[in-house]
Amino acid sequence: MKKIVSSFLVTMFLGAVAFAAEPVKPTTAASPVQATATTAPAAAATQAAATQAPAAAKSAAAPAKIKTNKAITLTMFGLIIAITLGVVVWAARKTKTAADFYTAGGGISGMQNGWAITGDVVSAASFLGMSGLISLYGIDGFLYSTGPILGFVTILLLMAEPLRNAGKYTMGDILCFRASEKPVRAAAAISTVAVSTFYLLAQMVGAGKLMQLLLDIPYKASVIGVGTLLIIYVVFGGMKATTWVQIIKAVLLLSAAILISLLVALKAGLNPLRLFSDVVTNQNIQDHVRMNVLKDPLPVAGFDYGKRFLQPGLFLKNPLDQISLGLAWVLGAAGLPHIMMRFFTVPNAKEARKSIKISVFLMGTFFILTTLLGFGAAIHISPQKIAAMDKGGNMATLLLAQYLGGGEGTIGGDMFLAFVCAVAFATILAVVSGLVLAASAAIAHDIYVNIIRGGKAEQKEQVMVARITSLVVGAAAIIMGLAAEKENIVALVALAFAVAASGNFPVIILSLFWKRFNTAGIVSGIVVGTVTAIGLVLVSPNMTYPKKIAADAKKIVDTMEKKQAGGAVLSEKDQASLQKARGDYEKNKNGTSLMGLDKPLFPLKNPGIISVPLGFLAAVLGCLAFRDRRAEEMFDEIYVRQNTGIGIAKAVDH
């Protein structure tokens, strides 16, 4: 137990340190325009930046959409769909029982499962969203990449072996082993659906944007088409089809990331110092940081905007936000239901550990490469073009691939773009399949089979209910995707991690390792952690606050009008900024957020720093308030089982 606690504390400490780097801030005077920075490049650089601004603005103008060769792109997409549907047909023939549908009969090897976990975690949010955040906000986007790795170290040290030995299909199976079945399964199912909802939103938005911008298909039609495919995958293929689609997708994704990163590195002469120098000296990046991120209407004398792009705090401006995000990432990975289900697909605990080792290596490689993808896009495409194409930055990697292949209109550019788009499409299909499977398993297995039917449903009935539930969940994913068109997908995934870290992780870890833990603790922890995380998100800066937009616009209007009143002639770029600011002000001055608020009640983007401790506290207090002798007496049984594997479900031959 001491080793377990020590490992947990070390992992938590590393996670907090990774995210707690405080941003370097300039020393400012009363007015931001008069501020001076601690690092002062030559004054001539500031003057040159001002004279070059119109040219930079013109070069940064973005087209309405990515121009692709539709014949090549459709061929690539068709090939991916044909291969994955072939996998579904093969898997459907082998899916006969509930165990086949939910866990592929426990017959997946550790190597296969490691690749599949990578395919499950490295989602559209990673491939499109993280690189997009890096291209728009610099090093803050990379902080999003480090969390999942630390999270899977937590799983490797603490949870992989006990989860495989203690569970069967879902999180509810683990939690109800020594607790009252109905309330625990109900709470676990609600939490699973909540986590899967945020994650599903991210994938569906990514899918819709991808198809819309590449093939000129309306966003709604794109989401419906992708949703239809994922329903086919899950309803007919179950976990076997999902696993192999994820493996195929992981191989393609890593290949694409390595190739693009290598090309970016070659552009910088394989010299990382030159890459960072290119970031700092890039005029488009400097203008983007000044105008779009820091909201300085005019350049601050002596302030190095390019260097600021390499410092933390542009996106996560509050150090507490960085710590909060770290908690959510590190602990949330261990509470994701669709990741938890993957441990039940391997035959034993040894293979579970092996799969985590493989996935940590593969994911670590990929997340390091996202830095090259993001900075490469910022240098060669420009943050302005990326944001104009999609304000969340989700198209950065695709634009970079087209550029590196030879540029718009070239055969090389079209083929490389089509390949990367097809990989991103496969990524979305694989991840949403796993999410829909996890959500449908919670509803069908936990709610219908074990609560409504009391665990007495026949195998044929269980499979039928699971497939019907998958159909319903898939349809719900389509509806939610249509409603979340404007959101950044990596931010949505971060929220999913926060809910998993706050509601799921505390009760799982306490259920496995605390003898006194019981039903009241489980229900309290899940409900309080989940509700708190979601509630704080709804009143956080993640929501859109029109009056805040109006206030920022008014600041620009006042500055520009004051400059005009002083006799200065506005540049082309400043005139465009003034017109846009006036429009933004009029459009948003009387608006409120989804919750009817003028400004956030909770100041952090991620609720983990509050919701995770509250989840643990509620679990502990609920347990202590309602002691359960039966749960304590059964602890020895679950402890032996999770360490030896006695009584676990056996694997089937494949």
- Comparing 27 with 442, the larger pLDDT belongs to 442
Q: Are 135 and 284 in contact (CB under 8 A)?
A: no
Residue 612: the pLDDT is: 93
Q: How many residues would you count in the chain? A: 654
- Separation between Cα atoms, residue 272 and residue 265, nearest integer Å: 8
Q: Which residue has the higher pLDDT, 151 or 337?
A: 337
Angle of helix 396-404 relative to helix 238-267, nearest 10 degrees, comes to 60
- Please tell me which residue, 154 or 112, carries the higher pLDDT value: 112
Give the SS3 label for residue 372.
Answer: helix
Output 125 or 527, whichever has higher pLDDT.
527
Comparing 190-204, 268-282, 357-371, the range with the smallest average pLDDT is 190-204
What phi and psi, each to the nearest 5 degrees, are found at residue 632?
-65, -40
Least confident of 50-64, 210-224, 264-278: 50-64
Contact criterion met (CB below 8 Å) for 375 and 279: yes
pLDDT at 239: 85
The pLDDT, as a whole number, for residue 340 is 79
Q: How far is 501 from 258, CA to CA, in rounded Å?
A: 31
* Cα 427 to chain centroid, rounded: 13
Residue 147, pLDDT score? 67
Report the pLDDT value the prediction gives residue 259, as an integer from 0 to 100: 93
**Rounded Cα gap, residues 348 and 371, in angstroms:** 36
CB 433 within 8 A of CB 124: no
pTM of the model: 0.75
34 or 605: which leads in pLDDT: 605
Percent of the chain with pLDDT over 70: 85
Q: Is the pLDDT of residue 385 over 80?
A: yes
Query: Which residue in the block uniquely carries the two structure tokens 């991620």?
Result: 606
Worst-scoring range by mean pLDDT, 316-325, 373-382, 603-612? Answer: 316-325
What was the pLDDT predicted at 9?
A: 38
Under DSSP, is residue 30 helix (H, G, I), strand (E, B) or coil? coil
Is the predicted pLDDT of residue 503 greater than 70, yes or no? yes
pLDDT over threshold 70, residue 566: yes
Pairwise CA distance, residues 203 & 94, whole Å:
28
Q: What is the enclosing helix (H) or strand (E) of 544?
A: none
Residues 6+ apart with CB under 8 A from 105: 97, 99, 240, 651, 652, 654
**pLDDT tens across 86-138, in order?**
888 888 888 878 888 888 777 888 899 999 888 888 876 677 778 888 999 98
Neighbours of 458 (CB within 10 A): 10
Class of domain 72-494: mainly alpha
B/e letters for 358-373, b = 16+ CB within 10 Å, e = fewer, are bbbebbeebbebbbbb
Rounded mean pLDDT of the chain? 79
**% of the chain surpassing 90 pLDDT:** 14
**Alpha-carbon 480 to chain mean position:** 16
Q: What is the pLDDT of residue 491?
A: 59
pLDDT range class, residue 3, cuts 50, 70, 90? very low
pLDDT of 524 > 70? The answer is: yes
Question: Residue 176 contacts by C-beta under 8 Å, 6 or more apart in sequence?
Answer: 184, 185, 188
The lowest-confidence range among 3-7, 380-384, 423-427 is 3-7
3-state secondary structure of 48: helix
Q: Is residue 443 within 8 Å of residue 469, measured between CB atoms? A: yes
Q: Is the pLDDT of residue 613 over 90?
A: yes
